[in-house]
Each structure stands twice: as C-alpha cells, then as structure tokens.
Amino acid sequence: MMENIVFFSIISIFILVGLGIILWGFSQQEVLVRSQKWPQTRAKITQLALEDLSDVDGQSYVTTITYSYTVKGNSYQNSNIGFGYCASSGKEYHQRIYQVLAAKSFVNIYYDPRHPYKSVISKSPGKGIYISKLVGIFFVIWGLGFLILFIFSSSDFQFIGYIIRLGVISIMLITFVTVFISCWRFVDTKKIDQLTKDIRQC
C-alpha cells in the first residue's frame, strides 16, 4: 500500500512538473504576441558577460546583459534579451550572441507601454519557448504512460491489458524520439535563429 502511494506521488509530481513547464512556455508565447505592438527605444548596455554555469550535472552557458533606458523621463534597467532565451549546453550559440552584443554600446529595445520596466531586445521567440513545450509534453505523456501501465499491469485485464500496455509503450517511445530529435534541432549551435538575427540588427 505504501509503495503505491509513493508511486502515485512520484507520477503526480512528474505530470505536474510537465504541466508547469508547458504553461510557462505558453505564458511566454502570450507575452510575445502582445509585445509585437510594443514601441521601441534606445538603451545603453551597462553590463555584459558570457557566463559558464557548468557543474557536475553538465555544461551550461548563457549571455547575461544589463541595459538602461528612459521612457517619458523615467529611467529603467532590465536584462531580458528575448522571450524564452535561457541557459543551455550550446556554448557556441551563446558565445555568438555575446560577441554580437559586445560590439555594441547601445541597443534598440522594445518595452511594454503600460509597464515600461518590462522590455526585451528581440521580439522573436527564443529556443527556450519551443524546448519547454516539448519537454513539458514529454513529462506529461511519460507520467500518464507510467500511470496507465501500472493500472493495467494487473492480471485482471489479461489480453486487453496487454494491448493497452503495448499501445502506451509505443506512444511513449514515439514521444521520446520525437522530443529528442526536435530538441536536438533547436539546440543546433550552427543554425542562426531569428533571435540572433534580431540582436545583430538592434
């Protein structure tokens, strides 16, 4: 009985984490859509760095920036590069963004007219938005998959249980392969994405 409680608790956390990641991705997507009407202004780069966040769990890099700007006489400071932009293992990708920004003293940024403290350099979606959705879907489907496999593992279901388990395993494997290949394409460091292009032109 205790083992079942632990199992269901772990699966529930797995699914909830997946849903949380998906919701974060869609929230970023929603803000991104609204930002298409944001006005533009000039901002001064006050701090820039290519950070190595690698540890025993793996390699991770990110370009961090701080820029200041003025809207209607009020001064603001922000560090957002683009929606969904975040640390990842592709050093070349972040290094490219760093080098582009390092050649600039000022950048054009877009700000929320209702909340001027919210701003971004690029209004294009970063890879993080797409990857978060894919990872979230993976967590949810595999969590539900393990739950269904557990439920139909009982001998009471016999043949129909076998068919269902086979179908669930197939879906889980297809999801894994699809998410893995898709994420691999998104983290391709040699591909110039729209966010990088925007930063070059800002």
Q: Map out the domains of the chain as residue ranges.
A: 2-28+129-186, 37-122+193-201
- pLDDT above 70 for 1: no
Put the strands of the sheet holding 74-78 in their side by side order.
Answer: 74-78, 61-71, 40-52, 106-111, 119-120
Any idea what the Cα angle at residue 193 is, between residues 188 and 197, rounded to 5°? 140
* E-only strand ranges, the chain: 40-52, 61-71, 74-78, 106-111, 119-120
pLDDT-derived band at 155 (thresholds 50, 70, 90) equals low
pLDDT at residue 149, as a whole number: 84
The answer to whether the beta carbons of residues 150 and 10 sit under 8 Å apart is no
- Do 130 and 84 contact (CB within 8 A), yes or no? yes
What does the pLDDT read at residue 51?
Answer: 92
The residue type of 138 is F
pLDDT at 127 over 90: no
pTM to 2 decimal places = 0.69
